[in-house]
Amino acid sequence: MKHYILDGNNILHKHSGWAELFKRAPAEACRALLISCESFLKIYPSYKLSIVFDGQIPPVSSTLIKIFAAQPADKKIKDLIRTFQNPKLAVVVSSDTEVWNYARLNTATALRSEDFLKELPLFNSPTQPAIKTSAAKTKTPKEKPSGVSKNEIQIMKKLFGLE
């Protein structure tokens, strides 16, 4: 059974509509994400889903989704990954390179926020406009590098006795 761990703020800021809504009404933006995720879980009832938000979040609740508020959220996501007996069943959704690489190093599946947004049922229906992520709006370079740093390679070499 897959368990999705979502970087809530990261996902909200990758969707242009939710990012704008979050500036005006954070609770409404969080609620929009929850509604979309609950629809996703209705399609995949065997999946579990946890959302981690940075710092304090507005009062939102869900009977289907575990919600965490942590400062910083990245640390909480890493803690959740460590709790899995079989991390291969975890799907970590974030566009944060550090979180993404940590998930992959721990055999969890890493999925970019932009790609997860495309999987949400609300945005794949014919009545909804095509998804517009903040990365798609501009032709600027990616917010964070997508590769592994030299420092991370050195750490891996030491871990595997290659140095």
What's the confidence (pLDDT) of residue 126?
Answer: 37
What's the confidence (pLDDT) of residue 58?
Answer: 64
What's 7's DSSP letter? Answer: E
> Between 140 and 38, whose confidence is greater?
38
Cis ω for the linkage preceding 72 (within 30 of 0):
yes
3-state secondary structure of 74: helix
- For residue 17 the two structure tokens come to 């509509």
| Domain spans, the chain | 3-159
What's the confidence (pLDDT) of residue 122?
Answer: 61
Give tens-digit pLDDT for 125-146.
333 444 444 444 444 445 555 6
C-alpha–C-alpha distance, residues 17 and 145, integer Å: 24
Contact 73, 9 (CB under 8 A): yes
- For residue 46 the two structure tokens come to 């065997």
Neighbours of 53 (CB within 10 A): 25
In this structure, whether the domain defined by 3-159 belongs to CATH 3.40.50 is answered with: yes
Phi-psi region of 104 (alpha: psi -120 to 50; beta: other; left: phi over 0): alpha
Give tens-digit pLDDT for 79-97.
999 999 899 999 999 999 9
Contact 63, 35 (CB under 8 A): no
Of 57-61, 110-114, 149-153, which has the strongest mean pLDDT? 110-114
Does pLDDT of 61 surpass 50?
Answer: yes
